[in-house]
Amino acid sequence: MCTTITSRRQNMGILDKFKLDGKKAYVTGSTRGLGKVCALALAEAGADVAIIGTKIETAEAVAKEIAEKTGVQTIGVQADVTQPADVDAMMEKILDAFGTLDIAFNNAGIATVANAEDLSVEDWDRTLDVNLKGVFLTSQAAGRVMLKKKKGSIINMASMSAHIANIPMNVCHYAASKAGVIQLSRNMAAEWAPHNVRVNVVSPGYHMTEMTAQFTELHKQWLPRIPMGRIADPEELAGIIVFLASDASSYTTGAEIITDGGYTLR
């Protein structure tokens, strides 16, 4: 027997499912690089966006820039994602400004290069604090809000480095932190799926950002390992973030989308 199911989602056109009109979002680490590009994309899709950074002046400047380009409501918020009190204050400011939260993109991260035998405990701790603990704290804070409303999309930033060794760069601490993000996100997704709170992961390869620009001497060694033969533009991540934030991905949770030009295929 064939059962016909009629739903609001079926009555929406496919492009409508990608719209974020009226949604409330934040992006950590969004004063530059991939975070800024993706915050702009969420705003272009219709969401009001909180720009989270470590310096309030920069966060407010980026928020103003995005508001002027898109016409949505934006705010700048200062927060250290490794500090629970800062994350709590961040969430309070977002809720004061927007009233609710629908989309969280936990993007803030750092990267340094060091041989494993020379890596200091301080560099290890700082990398794990920002890249993994920070994602946990912000996901937890966002989840608490979304669980109450029985809906939300959390997107966490990992990396293709969770799956490979970044030869010739030695970044065992960075790779470990990003692998942790994937398993953290998968377990949160399983816990929160019954409450319609989705948790997904994006794992980019090399994008031309301020972070990767510091490794210009390595670009010639990266390119032969990328089947598409080029480093990505930052904007090439934005569509994936909008997809995961939107109703177009309403049945997607616990997923990891690797966007690396085919690097991890080798």
- Beta-carbon-side half-sphere exposure of residue 38 (alpha carbons within 13 Å): 33
CA distance 198 to 102: 10
Q: Which residue has the tokens 């989270």?
A: 52
Q: What is the reported pLDDT for 119?
A: 98
Q: What is the reported pLDDT for 10?
A: 63
**In sequence order, what are the beta bridge partners of 51?**
27, 76
* The 103-106 sheet, strands edge to edge: 74-78, 48-53, 24-28, 103-106, 152-157, 197-204, 256-259
Averaged over successive runs of 10 residues, the pLDDT of the chain (266 residues) comes to 49 92 98 97 98 98 98 98 98 98 98 96 98 98 98 98 93 98 98 98 93 78 94 96 98 98 95
- Beta-carbon-side half-sphere exposure of residue 153 (alpha carbons within 13 Å): 29
| Domains of the chain: residue spans and CATH | 17-255 (3.40.50.720)
CA distance 248 to 237: 16
- Beta-carbon-side half-sphere exposure of residue 132 (alpha carbons within 13 Å): 19
Q: What is the reported pLDDT for 218?
A: 83
What's the sign of the alpha-carbon dihedral 50, 53, 54, 55?
Answer: negative
Q: What is the reported pLDDT for 1?
A: 42
Q: What is the reported pLDDT for 8?
A: 54
Q: What is the reported pLDDT for 266?
A: 84
CB distance 79 to 90 below 8 Å:
yes
Told to judge if 174 belongs to the known catalytic residues of this protein, a careful annotator would answer yes
Catalytic residue among 26, 174, 206, 263: 174
The three-class DSSP label of residue 262 is coil
Q: What is the reported pLDDT for 227?
A: 97
Residue 89, both tokens: 């204050």
